[in-house]
Chain A
Amino acid sequence: MVPAQELTVRPARRRRRQAGRTSPGWITAFCLPAFALYGLFVVVPLVTAFYYGLFRWEGTRQAGFVGFGNYREILTRYPLSEEITAALGHNVLFFVGTMAIQNTIGLGLAVLLHRNPWGKRLFQTLFSLPYLISPLIVGYIWSLLLSPTFGPINHVLRAVGLDSWARPWLGEPDVALPVLILVNAWQWIGGPLLIFGAALAGVPRELEEAAAIDGASAARTFWSVRFPLLIPAVGVITVLTFIGCFNIFDLVYALGGSDGGPGGAMDVLGLLYYRTAFQGGSNAIGESSALAMLIFVLIFGISVALERALRRREVA
């Protein structure tokens, strides 16, 4: 029997030989538009933000080089310094909550659909549909659903006698962040569902059959056979979730406004940046650029570290 790997490698080799005949000029020509766009919209703003962050600004006028003065300012000024720590904490909680709820449930649903493929396509489509809606609209619709005065959710709870459960969902500091995690999971659960579904489909059937013959229980089969083979998918989803959770802005803005909901319970770095940049004072450009750089370094650094760590586990 020809190993499956051989079958897939051969056409790839043929393509590579063909690619070798393409002149470097053509390759450059085809890459250039992408590089130009990347340079113009990613590299230039990034460098500009760093450069702007080194100056003090009076409105739109540069008023002198201050080095890392803006960084010192945002890290020491009350209450901004405390808001940065609080917002970062909320981002971390949001990430942990999303991993625990959205991705765990996504994995569970993917396993269910894998074991019982009836209506698999339909459910995959249904769970992925909220992807198509802008997070701003999702947030707005959920804020209407959760409204204590007009929202149907509290209305239903009261109708079935659960009056004590009906609460101002987006108005209580302790409840707001969990609600945010759930609404966000409602929108994005299709992601882990599809990625885990594809990874599960890639687990060789022989392994599952061998485990079954050895008398392994369903749980044992999952943890000892399937899950180790899902680790690369877990890695991808963890990095994507991390970036998504630390970049979040639109959904929180729609649910809790630019101040991040009751007592700032949903305040995240994205909102904090927005307030610093668009509701800041004379030196808004300098301070917001510095804050943007801090956030970028944080997300970029952790993403790279996370990716490295996960890849090392895959190799092991």
Chain B
Amino acid sequence: MPRKYGVLGAAAMLAVTLAGCAPDSGDSGGDAVNLKVWGWRQEDVAAYNKIFQSYEDAHPGVTVEYVPYKNTEYDTILKTGLTDANGPDVAQLRSYGLLQPLVAASGLVPLDDQVKELADFPKPVLDGARGENDGKVYGVPFALQTLHVIYNEKLFADHGITAPTTWADMIAAFEKLKGANVIPLASTVTDTWMLPIQHEIFGATTYGGTDYLNKMLTGGAKFTDGPWVKSLETWKGTNKYWPPQSSGVSYADAQALFTSGRAAMFPGGIWELGVFEKANPDLKMGIFNVPPAPGAAVDKTLVPGYVDGSFGVSAKSPKREAALSLVRWMASEEFGRAYSNELRQISAVPNVQPQDNLLAQALRAYQENPSPYVTYAYFSGGSPTGWDLASAAFSDYLLGRRDAAGAAGHIQRGVDQWFRPKN
């Protein structure tokens, strides 16, 4: 196997080296500056070109080029790219734990003193672009992702159901649908990365969201403590409303169950809306969040969300000033609006309202009662990451190979090896 990966690795290195050797048109034209923005969204090139056009119009002599790489290979390519002046000037960065290797390798410029607009961003949003060791911000966050239960409006109307506002209403709706031979929740079990997402959607109110997170970060609470363990039980308690033989239902199966109208709801991220619309343009959708479960730590409906990523400046870029000026613009409402409208995403820039109704509803709900995506956002700065541990532990838990306390114990034991509470 090292053989196989060795060859792959060598080929990847070669590809990166060759890409790095490509002539840089921007340097040859006197004052003209060409900024390369690397990213992982191949499907968004046209939208980014349109967005950057307005920046180019306002800044004569500057051209901005969005250079996309394959999503799954981007992190490896970017690690190498940031060690070289021929790499990106501005790079799309993953958030939280996945950002840390780049910060550790000193590949990025700290932006706290350079981009004063960041002061207006809420702290939880900046957390997504922060170096965990030095607390500095290394990117301008571009998108928020929120987690909800997405529902099929027609199926709800057909069965006389409206978006539930209490836990009892929600369970009654599930029962009604199940009785009518409609799968209430299109939940997946085999794609383990979806499990921590589903857990936040159904379990957040049981452990208490941000309040509990703050206790965890300062050492006052653990995964293994009662509220968090109980939140796993709250979530698994809904499994009688999942598809039959759910342990073999994949993410793609779950999506197909929902878009084909066989399932009435899909617990997942707001990004699914675009995917579902493409799969079934006639589908009318709504979103709601899970009301407080019996015995919940809070009495309000929580909306989990997190930062998708940010744009940072390469420390090796020879055009640092021009690159900083571009990311400053990326913190402006003009960029936020263009981003939100062109890409149909929730912009991370404060005070930018999405035009799309559901996105606007999601953002409003999140701003009113935000809740963290704990394992992904706050426990993925070391190895093993809380997110990986949770994905594996939840899979075992749903398959009956661990109980709730055992699953929580697995996560706690893993993160205890590197996590140190603040204060």
Which residues of A are interface residues toward B (Cβ below 8 A)? Answer: 40-42, 44-46, 48-49, 58-61, 77-80, 143, 146-150, 166-173, 246-247, 249, 256-257, 259, 261-264, 269-270, 273, 275, 277-284, 287, 292-293, 295-296, 299
Contact = CB atoms under 8 A, between A and B. Distances in A.
B9 A45 contact: yes
Contacts of B395: 259, 262-264
A41 B383 CA distance: 30
A51 to B, nearest CB: 12
B6 interface: yes
A273 B6 CA distance: 12
Contacts of B3: 42, 45-46, 296
A284 B2 contact: no
Contacts of A46: 2-3, 6
Given A77-B417, A78-B414, A278-B75, A59 B102 contact: yes
A86 B123 CA distance: 41
B312 interface: no
Nearest to A77: B417
Q: What are the 6 closest A-B residue pairs judged by CB atoms, nearest first? A: A168-B248, A45-B6, A171-B248, A59-B105, A171-B247, A281-B383
Given A46-B3, A259-B391, 7 more contacts: A42-B6, A59-B103, A60-B83, A148-B248, A259-B392, A262-B247, A270-B1
Given A59-B107, A150-B256, A281 B250 contact: no
B105 A273 contact: no
Contact of A296 (B2, B262, B383, B389): B2
A273 B5 contact: yes
A99 B396 CA distance: 29
Contacts of B6: 41-42, 44-46, 48-49
B396 A263 contact: yes
B392 A264 contact: yes
B384 interface: yes
B253 A40 contact: no
Contacts of A150: 253, 256
B279 interface: no
B101 A281 contact: yes
Contacts of A296: 1-3
Contacts of A170: 190, 248
B189 A262 contact: yes
Given A78-B414, A78-B417, A259-B192, A172 B2 contact: no
Contact of A172 (B248, B250, B389, B413): B248
Contacts of B417: 77-78
Contacts of A292: 1-2, 5
A62 to B, nearest CB: 10
Nearest to A42: B3
A143 B248 CA distance: 10
Contacts of A263: 392, 395-396, 399, 401
8 contacts: A49-B2, A59-B107, A147-B253, A149-B245, A150-B253, A249-B4, A273-B5, A296-B3
Contact of B100 (A61, A264, A282): A282
B7 interface: yes
Contacts of A283: 383
A148 B5 contact: no
